[in-house]
Chain A
């Protein structure tokens, strides 16, 4: 049988630079992980004040006898910020279970429900408090942005939360969440990569994880060399990016546009 009309496989027009950078980035991050696991490289990661304060926030909630609220925002399970938020949620849920603090988890996308329920239940099992896990505390409020915002605001005020953790994907509702937490006197931590919402979090929350700090928080908290090696790898990718930008700017300045054209999508 002859196969006909099979088009030739090629890189999309204008994607040559992106394809090479994609492969190079994957290779460098993987190399960073490999070398860290072998003990060749020993990454020193700066302290993230927000993550270090998580225990303090949960401890304060324990002393006050008030719940901890945690939300991953509007994103679905395919969103990288939600995945990062869930990694931190597991740690927070385990700590809350250990200390007997109510852990309220809210989200907007239904796809988060089964994953979050399973993850938080496992955190309670790890803490040896499986019997205290209440699936009703993992709450889907609405997939409409402002209905969800209203739900979270009402929950924070009704439950008088002691800690408000906003780690995930947020849009215009970010300030509503943070203000609700502020009004009940909750300690607040927020994190997102959405550059438009970061200023709101900075002015209203006690701690803010800015952009990549949220994404790397899971690896930072794990303390595993293999995960921390990926942070080292991403720093090397960043250095390459900076070098390319610098060289590109200089070349562009002297009239050579080859590099910028090659890298542009």
Chain B
């Protein structure tokens, strides 16, 4: 593939799109704004084609795993069964007009497997947070000691027992979260935004080509 197709055309499209959409955010003109809205929709549609590539790659990986039977294949079998369920849902929708949202088998996969699975993993976070907090709450240095102290104050401030011990724990907690914490977070956000601006300049100028795949 020539360098023009591989590098210059994608880069030109990127630069034109970037300035076009930046203009849409800042400027007001009905025709221009409508065109930009349509453009964003078109980008979403093009992007959705990537799903097909990913599904193909994932399916190939799991089918090959089932064929070789070298590793644990239960999850691969389950995945292939889910594809079958999805294809059945699409078939019913295309041929019989039954909405996938009302399809019994598809609904069972979501309500019986996906939703409880999501909830389970989310709830595991509580234990992970406890384990991480245990490791963090060790006064090894001045910074760690300040973190430990702040953490204890915030915990006591948020729990009813804190107010029973000392009435000013909730007040101190509010001050810690509203003043030093907010100042720190805003610093991170501001520095991140400025760095992103510089990243976009590098991309527009063609110095940063990670988004382009091989690019060079």
Contacts and interface: CB of A to CB of B under 8 A. Distances in A.
Contacts of B25: 12, 15
Contact of A140 (B54, B192, B196): B54
Interface in A172-205: 172, 175-176, 178-179, 193, 195, 198, 200, 202-204
A62 interface: no
Interface in A193-242: 193, 195, 198, 200, 202-204, 210-212, 215-216, 218-219, 222, 224, 226-227, 230-231, 233-234, 237-238, 241
Interface in A80-125: 80, 83-84, 86-87, 89-90, 110-115, 117-119, 121-122, 125
Nearest to A126: B216
B117 A212 contact: no
A139 B61 contact: yes
Interface residues of B, number: 64
B70 interface: no
Contact of B214 (A122, A172, A176, A203): A122
Interface in B39-70: 47, 50-51, 53-55, 57-58, 60-61, 64
B178 interface: no
B199 interface: yes
B16 interface: no
B83 to A, nearest CB: 13
B197 A29 contact: yes
A114 B213 contact: yes
A contact residues, range: 35 or more
28 contacts: A6-B31, A7-B28, A10-B27, A18-B26, A26-B201, A33-B201, A76-B47, A83-B208, A87-B210, A112-B50, A115-B213, A117-B213, A118-B213, A119-B214, A139-B61, A140-B57, A146-B122, A147-B114, A158-B72, A175-B129, A179-B131, A195-B185, A198-B188, A215-B198, A224-B207, A226-B207, A234-B194, A237-B198
Interface of A: 6-13, 15, 18-19, 22, 25-26, 29-30, 33, 76-78, 80, 83-84, 86-87, 89-90, 110-115, 117-119, 121-122, 125, 135-136, 138-141, 144-147, 149-150, 154, 158, 172, 175-176, 178-179, 193, 195, 198, 200, 202-204, 210-212, 215-216, 218-219, 222, 224, 226-227, 230-231, 233-234, 237-238, 241
